Amino acid sequence: MQTKWVICPKETIDKEAICQAGEIIRSGGLVAFPTETVYGLGGDALSPDSSRKIYAAKGRPSDNPLIVHICRVEDMKKIAVDIPRQAYVLAEHFWPGPLTMILKKAEIVPKETTGGLDTVAVRLPDHEVAQAFIEQAGGFVAAPSANVSGRPSPTLAKYVYEDMNGKIEMLLDGGQVGIGVESTIIDLTEDIPVILRPGHVTQEMLQQVLGEVCLDPTMLDVTNTEAPKAPGMKYRHYAPQGELTIVTGDPAAVSDKIKQLLLEDSKNGRKTGVIVSRQDEHLYDADSVKVTGDREDMAAVARSLFRILREFDEEQIECMYVQAFPQDGIGQAVMNRMLKAAGHKIIEAKE
Ligand code: AMP
Ligand code: MG
């Protein structure tokens, strides 16, 4: 199969391309498309066959459910039942946007889409191309991130093409995505809503609207070995081909430790990389130094993280280091993804 790569910026939507993309989905094919978080790999959410094709294209375990993307709030009622009032409150505040809600599924949603669960994940993305495409596709597009399972989620079309060329019919290229980490997932089927995956919509933002909101205990604790409730969160994820290590502690001790590790690696003939803020760029001598932006600008870190991990792969970097980020606001999502990318390898620098 030849994958058709079509440039489709949100400022000047190519209506013909969107119609074609919608037609592909309605006839059972797959289309990758931009959202505000990362690129999605879309198929018809109401077709068991299309969902099977998504799992096959990604090489994703079929117990890892897909998020159903909609383009109108009221469409939530067609795929979910017993919807709590909180879902409408959240939709009012955060949709369209980077928030996924877990609800009880309606009969119409096949188990293939939900990885065998009785619940369904629903999101209304804040991206003109995504919305126009979902509408043309029939309103319900199942879409995980458009990467091969385990690799960093794609934030640029070229990375989708790298992973999906020949496996999907079409790629809608909307340029670089805005947020860069996947949506926040909140489970509304429990008495107290639970965050299953942190994202751009933070716990504080959700608490302001809903009151009490808890975090899945397995989410950030490195030592916790319980199975997380979002099945996908248990897999090694977002991982570069080399070895990423997170270093925590006092900033001076962290930079000393990273310098020492870089020196050892290069003595051993290994290619090294570091991820740093603009302020720390001058500190390190590595084969590849990747700058995320200003130290305080966590949104820039979120936006660049997956791209940097892919660039390290392109440069065949073997050992990578990064200082731990503060876990407030979007920092929580960034650290969650980094811990997974590092296979939970985190060391403390002592003074
Ligand atoms: P991705 O689409 O690649 O961003 O991954 C979707 C994430 O949503 C995975 O971590 C899934 O396990 C999670 N997810 C999707 N549906 C459900 C559900 N019904 N219950 C819990 N987690 C879900
Ligand atoms: Mg993913």
What's the CATH number where 66 sits? 3.90.870.10
Q: How far is the CA of 15 from the centre of ligand 2 (A)?
A: 28
299 burial type by CB count under 10 A (0-12 exposed, 13-18 middle, 19+ buried): middle
Residues 119 and 126: their CA atoms lie apart, in Å, by: 23
Q: How far is the CA of 114 from the centre of ligand 1 (A)?
A: 8
What total of structural domains would you count in the chain? 2
Q: How far is the CA of 3 from the centre of ligand 1 (A)?
A: 26
Residues 283 and 276: their CA atoms lie apart, in Å, by: 9
Q: 227: pLDDT confidence band, cut at 50, 70 and 90?
A: low
Q: Which two tokens stand for residue 294?
A: 């200003």
Q: Residue 254 sits in which domain range?
A: 243-348
Atom of ligand 1 at shortest range from CA of 40: 2
Q: What pLDDT is stored for residue 295 in this prediction?
A: 80
> Considering the entire predicted model, what is its pTM?
0.94
Same domain flag for 155 and 191: yes
Q: Is the CB of 102 under 6 A from ligand 1?
A: yes
Same domain flag for 33 and 125: yes
Q: What is the mean pLDDT of residues 7-33?
A: 97
47 neighbors 142 (Cβ within 8 angstroms):
no
Q: Among candidates 139, 141, 130, which has minimal Cα distance to 172? A: 130
Same domain flag for 62 and 110: yes
**What SS3 class is residue 99?**
strand
Q: Is the CB of 43 under 6 A from ligand 1?
A: no
Same domain flag for 279 and 326: yes
Same domain flag for 198 and 257: no
Domain boundary among 215, 231, 263: 215
Q: Is the CB of 120 under 6 A from ligand 1?
A: yes
224, part of any domain = no
Q: Is the pLDDT of residue 243 over 80?
A: yes
Atom of ligand 1 at shortest range from CA of 66: 15
Domain containing 257 — which CATH number? 3.40.50.11030
Atom of ligand 1 at shortest range from CA of 182: 4
Same domain flag for 211 and 248: no
220, part of any domain = no
Please name the residue whose Cα sits nearest to atom 2 of ligand 1.
144
Same domain flag for 340 and 206: no
Q: 232: pLDDT confidence band, cut at 50, 70 and 90?
A: low
221, part of any domain = no
Q: What is the mean pLDDT of residues 141-156?
A: 96
189, part of any domain = yes
Same domain flag for 194 and 329: no
Q: Is the pLDDT of residue 102 over 70?
A: yes
232, part of any domain = no
pLDDT digits (tens, 9 = 90+) for 76-96: 999 999 999 999 999 999 999
Print the SS3 string covering 32-84: EECCCCCCEEEEECCCHHHHHHHHHHHCCCCCCCCEEECCCHHHHHHHEECCC
Same domain flag for 186 and 296: no
**Look-up: residue for tokens 């959240």?**
90
Q: What pLDDT is stored for residue 234 in this prediction?
A: 63
Q: 80-84, 277-281, 325-329 — which one is most confidently predicted on average?
A: 80-84
